[in-house]
Amino acid sequence: MHSFFGATVTNAMTNLADLLNSQTTCNPREDTSSYWVPTLYQDNNPVEPTIVTFYYLGEGVRDDIIATTQPIPQGLRIVAGNAKATGPNDNTISRWSCLHAGQVGSSHDFVNCPAGTMLESYLDFPQCWNGRDLDSADHKSHMAYPVNQACPSTHPVPVPKLRQVLRYPVSGDPARLRLASGGGFTMHGDFFNAWPVEEMARRVNDCIRPIIKCGANGRP
């Protein structure tokens, strides 16, 4: 079971044309991309996040590299996280924490959030593209994470970093929680880009490259 955000037509057979012509749950409405994650369960009951935010960031690499950031190509698919992780040490990307609970640190696995707080999931997607392939057999090899704040020579094209932040209306004993994929350390995210080319390019030019904070409408 997965929880889906963005384009409302997403299924196993979805292609780019389907997304471009889809309705969307996103703000802004221009974004008909598809985003999905394994469903969270508490006491074996599915729980949907009440706050879902996807940030497009100009960070993770040196400023001079940020200045050369390229728009995410239409149709690019990216997967982050490890759905087959067998323990917290298998996945160093995803993080769990608690909203409004500064004393509780982050972890690769579920954390015990105090009453009145919300469980948060953070996941950063790779931002270095090989410049050729919109996908790969394992859905990962065409992308890479920066090394020493630079894109590796095998994946030389920097694109905006996608950060997935999910906030769930649950707290308390993490033993009551699981993901459809397993433990909290199996959190992963899928992204299929269907931004209009001109909208993505404008945001890269006006926000990402000059490192200016913009709202959902792509304006400073």
Q: Tens digits of per-residue pLDDT, 28-87?
A: 999 999 999 999 999 999 999 999 999 999 999 999 999 999 999 999 999 999 999 999
Residues in the chain: 220
Question: What predicted TM-score, i.e. pTM, was given to this entire model?
Answer: 0.94
Average pLDDT over residues 85-90: 90
* CB-based contact 10:34 (threshold 8 Å): yes
Confidence of residue 209 (pLDDT cuts 50, 70, 90): very high
Q: What is the pLDDT of residues 179-191, one digit of tens each?
A: 999 999 999 999 9
Give the model confidence (pLDDT) of 141-179 as tens digits: 999 999 999 999 999 999 999 999 999 999 999 999 999
- What is the CA 134 to chain-centroid distance, rounded? 17
Alpha-carbon gap, residue 40 to 168, rounded angstroms: 9
Q: What is the DSSP string of 160-204?
A: PEEEEEEEES--B-GGGEEETTBSGGG-EEEEE----HHHHHHHI
| Range list of H helices, the chain | 16-20, 63-66, 197-203
